[in-house]
Amino acid sequence: MVTDAQTIQTKKLSTPEYLSRFFFNHPRTVLILLLAVPLTWLIVFYVGPLLILALQSFFYIDDYSGTMVKQLSLNTYAELFTPPNMEIVTRTVTMAAAVTLVDVLIAFPLAYYLGRFAKGRIKSLLYLGVLLPLWSSYLVRVYAWKLILSNEGIANWFFEVVHLTGVRDWLLSLPVVGGSSLSFSYLGMFMVFVYIWLPYMILPINAALERVPRSLLDASSDLGAKPGYTFRRVILPLVFPGIIAGSIFTFSLTLGDYIIPTVIGNSSYFIGPVVNRLQGTSGNVPLAAAFTIVPITIMGVYLLLARRTGAFDAL
């Protein structure tokens, strides 16, 4: 007796049918077919070079000949940990931390309003209001701040109109953050960083807020909590992973940026421009590589800590 299965097997199959059956029976082969090209691309062009870059940080430049010695050593790291280089690292990390903190303060109210109160048309418009700056040209937005902060620009005009030039001069006279003018000070650079990365903070906080279940808030108020108490004890802990998720962006992006410190600021060194200079004209590739390991390590540790708070679910 001929079974159904045998009938199917003996039936003559067209090529697409044959292939379909083959694909269905060989999921591993399908997987390999799907991944072959993109994975090869990523490994050859990206992962491989990235590992070689990391390896190069263990090479060093011979002091006399000025050429790269391809021997594993910690010489370059010894150079990295000298006070002038560590100062660059500290400066960059401090800037990144300050930018992150202020971005949280500015982003939170907007994200909170957007997530809890805004409805319908206003909500759509607010979303668009966050997305447009996020996706519009980075360089154009940096350029806008060059216009704003220049001596004859709108910021100084504004200070004069509201008769607050005294406040501006006082800010610029402050040690560390001050400088000769708005566009040649840490203050100016700081404002540009805060501005450029702000949308990256708003969106994850908002995403976390949107996921806070309504019922939890109702339960909290049913149990007699005042709005402020609910905010502190229910909303804030639930939104915290979102804040951490946003801070991953603002922190990492500030650490690695090399355009803003070049275009605006007092030309003191930050990691980005230093790496660019080292791998380019002065040609100390090992030290450049070692410098790039700094943000990678910092972000690696940061990401490990962030994962504990559940920040990745808020991304």
Partner 1 sequence: MRSNARKESRNTPSTERASLGLKLATLGAILFLHIPIVIIALYAFTTEDRTYQFPPPGLTFNWFGVILERADFWRALVLSLEVASVATFTAMAFGSLIAAAVYRTQFFGKETLSLLVILPIALPGIVTGIALRSGIRLLDLDFSFWTIVLGHATFCIVTVYNNVVARLRRTAYSQIEASMDLGATTFQTLRYITLPTIASALLAGGMLAFALSFDEVIVTTFTSGAQQATLPIWMLTQLTRPRERPITNVAALIVTAITFIPILIAYRYTQQAGEQ
Judged by DSSP in three states, 5 sits in helix
With binding defined as CB under 8 A, does residue 301 bind partner 1?
no
**Integer angstrom CA distances of residue 156 from 148, 159, 260, 265:** 8, 5, 20, 16
Cβ neighbours, 10 Å, residue 193: 27
With binding defined as CB under 8 A, does residue 198 bind partner 1?
yes
Q: Which two tokens stand for residue 81?
A: 């940990």
Cβ neighbours, 10 Å, residue 256: 17
Measured from the CB atom, the residue of 77 and 153 that comes closer to partner 1 is 153
Beta carbon of residue 293, minimum distance to partner 1 (angstroms, whole number)? 9
Strand-pair category, 60-61 with 68-69: antiparallel
Q: How many residues bind partner 1 (CB under 8 A)?
A: 88
Q: Which two tokens stand for residue 144?
A: 């806008």
Contact with partner 1 (CB under 8 A): which of 12, 121, 214, 308?
214
Contact with partner 1 (CB under 8 A): which of 97, 126, 171, 212?
126
Beta carbon of residue 82, minimum distance to partner 1 (angstroms, whole number)? 21
With binding defined as CB under 8 A, does residue 145 bind partner 1?
yes
With binding defined as CB under 8 A, does residue 37 bind partner 1?
yes
Half-sphere exposure of 23 (CA within 13 A, CB side): 10
- Scanning 79-87, 147-155, 170-178, 239-247 for contacts with partner 1 by CB under 8 A, the matching segment is 147-155
| Distance from C-alpha of 189 to C-alpha of 272, rounded to nearest angstrom | 14
With binding defined as CB under 8 A, does residue 181 bind partner 1?
no
| Distance from C-alpha of 266 to C-alpha of 184, rounded to nearest angstrom | 5
With binding defined as CB under 8 A, does residue 64 bind partner 1?
no
**Please, which of residues 279-298 interact with partner 1 by CB under 8 A?**
279, 288-289, 292, 295-296
| Distance from C-alpha of 83 to C-alpha of 74, rounded to nearest angstrom | 17
With binding defined as CB under 8 A, does residue 38 bind partner 1?
yes
With binding defined as CB under 8 A, does residue 162 bind partner 1?
no
Contact with partner 1 (CB under 8 A): which of 9, 73, 124, 173?
124
10 Å CB burial of residue 52 (0-12, 13-18, 19+) is exposed
With binding defined as CB under 8 A, does residue 202 bind partner 1?
yes
- Scanning 34-42, 58-66, 79-87, 239-247 for contacts with partner 1 by CB under 8 A, the matching segment is 34-42
- 255 in Cβ contact with 96 (< 8 Å): yes
Beta carbon of residue 240, minimum distance to partner 1 (angstroms, whole number)? 19
- Scanning 23-31, 62-70, 80-88, 168-176 for contacts with partner 1 by CB under 8 A, the matching segment is 23-31
**Please, which of residues 223-262 interact with partner 1 by CB under 8 A?**
252-253, 255-259, 262
Question: Which amino acid would we find at residue 195?
Answer: Y
Question: Which amino acid would we find at residue 278?
Answer: L
